[in-house]
Every structure is written in C-alpha cells, then in structure tokens.
Structure 1
Amino acid sequence: MQVKTFHYKKGTGWSLNDFPEMNSSNTLILAFCAPEYFNNTKPFDELRKAYPTSQIAGCSTAGEIYNEEINDHSISVAITKFEKSTIQVITEHIENPLQSEEIGIKLGIKLNKDNLKSVIILSDGLTVNGSSLVEGLKSTLKSSVIITGGLAGDGSQFKNTWVVAEGKPITKSITAIGIYGEHLEVNYGSKGGWDIFGPERLITRSEGNVLYEIDGEPALEMYKKYLGEKAKELPSSGLLFPLAIREKPLSSNQVVRTILAIDENKQSLTFAGDIPQGWYAQLMKANFDRLIEGASIAGQLAASQIQVPNSLNLAISCVGRRLVLGERSEEEIEATLDSIGRDSPLVGFYSYGEISPSGLQSCDLHNQTMTLTSISER
C-alpha cells in the first residue's frame, strides 16, 4: 500500500511538479476542496488525466486539512494505491432529507460483498439527514464493517455543498467508498470536548431532524434566549452552541447535534441529524483546552498498535470547532498528529457533520467532534 499527499492552492497551483505514478484500478484519490472549486474544475481535469483508471472522490469543505496545516481556497489530496485490497465507489442522488435512510440502504446493498471492511461516506451537507443515512447503511451491513466519513461543508455560508463523483463536482449527492480485503486494518477515534451548561430539557415535539418544542416551548424562541446577541447571527452562530441529546436523563451516552437552518414562522430548528421526540437535550459551549485535548484523544484512539509506515489518515472535524478555536484551530491538528506520529500523512476537512463509531455506541452521526480514520494493509 502506497500513500502520497499533496495540495493545490489558488495562485500557486500544485505543491509538486509531477503527479506520483500510482494509477491503477485499486487507487483511491480523495480530494477535499474549498467551495469555490465547484466552478473551477481545472484541478479535477488534471487529476483525471493523470489517473484515468483510478477512483476520484471528495467533497467541499469548511476548511481543508493538509498535514499540520488548515487552509482555505485549496484542495487537499491523498492518493492511496492498495496492493492487497480492492475498492468500490458508488454515488447516489438525493433531493430531500426524507430520502436519507432509503439511500443509505441502497448504498449498503450495493457495497455489501465479501471481505468488506471499511465504508467511507462523503455526503452533501445540507440535503441529508445524516443519522438516517447512517441507520440505512447499518441496517444492510455487518456490524464488523467500520463506517466513517462526513458531511460536505460550505465554509460558514450553509448555501451550497457538493461531492466529487467520477472526478467531477456534483450537488445533492452522496458518495460511498467500500474497501475490501482480509489484510485491511481500520482504526478510528472520535472525541468532542465541549462543556454542558443550563438545565436538561425534554424534547416535547420533533420530527426527524427538525425540533419544534422543548419543554412545551417553541424551540427557536428558547434557543434565542440562550444565545442573546448571537441570536441575530443564526444559523451560523448556532455552531458555537451545539445541543447534547440523550435517550435517558443524565445518561453519559449522548450525541451532539448542530443547527443547519432555522424557520422563524414555525419557530423550529433543523439539525444535521435526528432529534428524537422524548429524548433529553442540553446546551453546550466551548472549552478551548478540552477541544484540543479531544482531538488528541481521537488520534490516540485511532492510532494503530502495529505501526505501519504507509497509512491513509483521514481527519474530519466540525466547522463549529474551527469557528470557536479560531487561530488555535491548528493546535487540534497538531495534537492529532502528535498522537498518530508526526511523519504520518494526514488529510481531511472541516465538515457539517462527522460519521464515526464512538466508545459508547455503534457508528452514528456526530457534530462538533474531531474524528480520525486510519487505514492500512498488514
């Protein structure tokens, strides 16, 4: 297995003179792109020309991760040529979040073949219910299959997200990458680092990923009370105050949800994943040191006990973490690299939702977490 990473920057072009000679039917190219490259396809054209039989996938971002750097206006690329494993890349179109579980089932059925070990999901970030998508996948795949990935971003604009399919950017789509082989080793880690504040409240009315009422009060009205002046900046300011939800009161088994949109008329909040009625919710706020510590723990969880020099390391962190950490954002990337080894190649992106198993549960959609997937061949 060979892994090479490089990047493309506006104004300077590619960070290398010649593309690595790694083209094959089992070569996977991941490209994480600033939103503006939807209308500037020259880099994709060059990758397709250099790697005609390889599989090219990727998505738009809220920031591109390349080794210890976080960039905007760039494309971070990882090329992985598998020697003992095979890959399959499938893309499905989505028009409505209500289709999410159905599409997850379709993708799972198409990928479900012998020796499937890993599925990487790169999804539209706005037209999907991420938790329903994951549930659809899990219903068709063995529990031993490790599902990771994330939802595409659009900076803090929340207007247009897209994925890369067959080397071209397309909107309203979900790409699933299946990796097969008995020699494949997949490790993962996922960790947050936010502090909970305020009382625990009952979700009294919700439907899918739309929250209407908390403790019998309009959800948007209640949320605005906590945000104060920040309420004027919704939905983007909602990234700074995610929601922790749990099935039982005060349970440690929780997931975090981030706002994607608001509806003033219905006084509702739309989240990246399900908000089950009858569950409990609590607001969260940032703790800088704990956010960075969370990234370090995610790296430790994903680090292989058998150190493999060539591994594909994929970091996906939430745009909300970047907005909170600001200039300190690179510290969470450095903390991740310290955990997996400074010489390890690392690419990834800031997302609208992270997909990963955690220590508490099987795979789910997370928000406001740092997730890391490490893939290698024994």
Structure 2
Amino acid sequence: TEIITPADSRAAGERLASQLSGQGLRAVFLLSDGLNVNGTSLVSGLTSRLPPGVTITGGLAGDGSDFRHTWVISEGRPQAHRIAAVGLYGERLRVSSGCNGGWLDFGPQRRITRSEGNVLFELDGKPALDLYKEYLGSLAAGLPGSALLFPLAIRRPDSDGKPVVRTVLAIDEQQHSLTFAGDVPEGFEARLMRTTDEGLIDSAAAAVAQACGAMPSTGQTPALVVSVSCVGRRLVLGERAEEEVESISAGAPKGATHVGFYSYGEIAPGLDGGASELHNQTMTVTVFAED
C-alpha cells in the first residue's frame, strides 16, 4: 500500500490488514518506508484489524546515516512511499521472535512537555533540539545521523516496565523539534542512551537465544532466521558489525538460512512479551520453521 505522510500510518496498517485477513493466518512480516511513516501508528493499525495471536515482525527501510531516501520492493521494483506485508499461513508453520537492545540510560531524567505524535518539541519546557545539541557537542553538526549514537529512552511515569527506545529520523531547525520513528507521548519520562560494542554484540546473542528458546527444537526441519538490526548499531560497531551478525548465526538452529537488513525501526512483540510494537536500536530476530 502507498503512504504519503506519517499521518496516514494507522490507516495504511488497516488497509494492509484487510488484504491479509484469511483463515490460517499465523504471521505477518512487514516492510515499510523508513522516512514517511509513524511506525507506532502503522503497527497499531495493522494489529487492530488482525486476529489475536498473529505474530507481526519486520522493519522500516533504512538509508544509513543519510536519511534522504528509502525504498521497499513492491510489485517487483523498489519504490518510495510504500509499505509491503507478507502473510504466512498454515497450521504447520511455527514462528518465534526475540528482541534485545543493549543500551543504557545516562544523564538526567526529563519529562516530555510538548509533543505531537512522533514529533518532540519540548523536554522540561525547553526546546528538544537545543537540548540534544548540548549533549552531542561537536557531533551536533552531523544531525540527524549523529543522533543514532544517542537514542531516547521513554517510559510512562511510575511504570516498572522496560523503557521504549526511540531514534531520531529528522530535525526541524525552525521549530527546534525532533522527529522520531515512533510516538513520543507528552507526560512520558525521557533519558538519553548510549552503549558499547560488547553490549550490542551480547544483546544480539540474547535476541536469537530468546527467539530459539520460544520455539520447540526444529530437529531436521529447515529454519529461516531473519534479523533486523538498527542502523545506529552498525554505526557504533563500525568494523565490528560482522561480530553482531556472527553471534546471530552462531545461535541459530543448525543448518538455518540467515538473512537480514539494517533498519530505521524494528517491529516485534514487546520486550515484555506483549503485542507487537515498534522498537528502535534493537536487534530483532524472527525464526520461521514448518512441521
């Protein structure tokens, strides 16, 4: 389906769901434009129209640290402003997923005092872009790409759950605002995050272990492992990026085929095992097998 602006994201998800509905639907793998979408709304719209228990995974297309153009292959050719979904059906199909970040909060905790959907205007009553620039220092000249190194952790006040991580997609110098891949609700608490090479590599191993642990042994059955890793993780790892990939392959079922891509947002069940949602700065692994 086509998407023109982020405001159409929920409706786009609903349109896709209407095309996928059918007996025996077990899983949906979603591939979306990475720059013209609100990933939170997209997944919410898709989930609202699909039967309970359908696993939704996938990701938003990436463009490295350039943030200029993203494409999705639709109707046999790469296209911008497109969202594609693959529906997987059948009682013999088994699907499991894992998701892990490896990032840690740092700096003072702030509150989101003004936002609209996935656009953040103010933290603690101060312009969000100005605060980000203060933290980034000399790296601010590389925005929005340099913001991939310092994602934002947001959490509902008084919540004991794990924070949701959000990645910057664009900046607006006139409005002093930041546009994220997913919603940044007013009233939520927010802190910057950072990581290490070892933290990312270990979290990738944890993600594939979670995915494989949720699926009974595949035995001699061939398995497909699809990994979706945030572009920001590759920027941090640099030449060590292959170690993240190797950790996935090492933890995958024996003989499994492993494919994947770098994204501007990963889609998988929540870190607490809940409904599928948009994640940022994570390694998300989906394992497909058939009895």
Other structure's SS at 2:137 match: helix
Amino acid at match of 2:226: L
Confirm or deny that 1:212 pairs with 2:121. Answer: yes
Q: Deviations over 1:218-248 (max 9, x none)?
A: 0001111111111111000000000011112
Aligned mates of 1:195, 1:344 — CA distance in 2: 32
Gaps of 5+ in 2: none
Q: Contact (CA 8 Å) 1:120, 1:177: kept in 2 or not?
A: yes
Q: Counterpart of 1:77? A: none
Q: Deviations over 1:193-233 (max 9, x none)?
A: 01110121110000010000001100001111111111111
Q: Counterpart of 2:89? A: 180
Deviation at 1:271, TM superposition (A): 0.4
- C-alpha spacing 1:251/1:201, structure 2 compared with 1 (3 Å): farther
Aligned mates of 2:110, 2:158 — CA distance in 1: 9
Aligned mates of 1:344, 1:311 — CA distance in 2: 5
Aligned mates of 1:228, 1:210 — CA distance in 2: 22
Amino acid at match of 2:185: P
In structure 2, which of residues 270, 279, 288 is the aligned counterpart of residue 366 of structure 1? 279
Aligned mates of 2:278, 2:162 — CA distance in 1: 14
Mean CA deviation greater in 335-344 or 259-268: 335-344
Q: Counterpart of 2:75? A: 166
Gaps of 5+ in 1: 1-91
- C-alpha spacing 1:216/1:188, structure 2 compared with 1 (3 Å): same
Other structure's SS at 1:93 match: coil
In structure 1, which of residues 229, 253, 269 is the aligned counterpart of residue 178 of structure 2? 269
Q: Deviations over 1:256-293 (max 9, x none)?
A: 10000000110000001111111111100112211111
Q: Contact (CA 8 Å) 2:223, 2:253: kept in 1 or not?
A: no
Mean CA deviation greater in 213-222 or 102-111: 102-111
Matches within 5 A, 1:103-142: 103-142=12-51
In structure 1, which of residues 319, 336, 343 is the aligned counterpart of residue 248 of structure 2? 336
Q: Contact (CA 8 Å) 2:222, 2:255: kept in 1 or not?
A: no
Confirm or deny that 1:375 pairs with 2:284. Answer: no
Matches within 5 A, 1:297-316: 297-303=206-212, 304-308=215-219, 309-316=221-228
Q: Deviations over 1:112-135 (max 9, x none)?
A: 211111000000000101110000
Mean CA deviation greater in 337-346 or 223-232: 337-346
Aligned mates of 1:275, 1:265 — CA distance in 2: 20
Aligned mates of 1:188, 1:279 — CA distance in 2: 27
Confirm or deny that 1:153 pairs with 2:65. Answer: no
Aligned mates of 2:176, 2:7 — CA distance in 1: 20
Aligned mates of 1:342, 1:115 — CA distance in 2: 28
Deviation at 1:250, TM superposition (A): 6.2
The number of residue pairs the alignment matches comes to 287
Other structure's SS at 2:83 match: strand
In structure 1, which of residues 223, 226, 236 is the aligned counterpart of residue 132 of structure 2? 223
Q: Contact (CA 8 Å) 2:266, 2:280: kept in 1 or not?
A: yes
Q: Contact (CA 8 Å) 1:96, 1:127: kept in 2 or not?
A: yes
Q: Counterpart of 1:322? A: 234
Q: Counterpart of 1:348? A: 260
Aligned-residue sequence identity (percent) comes to: 53
In our comparison, the structure showing a higher alpha carbon Rg is 1
- C-alpha spacing 1:269/1:359, structure 2 compared with 1 (3 Å): closer
Aligned mates of 2:34, 2:207 — CA distance in 1: 22
Amino acid at match of 1:370: M
Which structure ranks higher in relative contact order (CA pairs < 8 Å, sequence separation ≥ 6)?
2
Aligned mates of 1:235, 1:251 — CA distance in 2: 30
Other structure's SS at 2:87 match: strand
Aligned mates of 1:249, 1:282 — CA distance in 2: 15
Other structure's SS at 1:175 match: strand
Aligned mates of 1:150, 1:259 — CA distance in 2: 16
Aligned mates of 1:124, 1:177 — CA distance in 2: 15
Q: Contact (CA 8 Å) 1:98, 1:129: kept in 2 or not?
A: yes
Other structure's SS at 1:148 match: strand
Other structure's SS at 2:201 match: helix
Deviation at 1:342, TM superposition (A): 5.6
Q: Contact (CA 8 Å) 1:195, 1:287: kept in 2 or not?
A: no
Deviation at 1:249, TM superposition (A): 4.2
Deviation at 1:157, TM superposition (A): 1.1
Aligned mates of 1:176, 1:332 — CA distance in 2: 26
- C-alpha spacing 1:237/1:257, structure 2 compared with 1 (3 Å): same
Confirm or deny that 1:101 pairs with 2:10. Answer: yes
Aligned mates of 1:109, 1:179 — CA distance in 2: 15
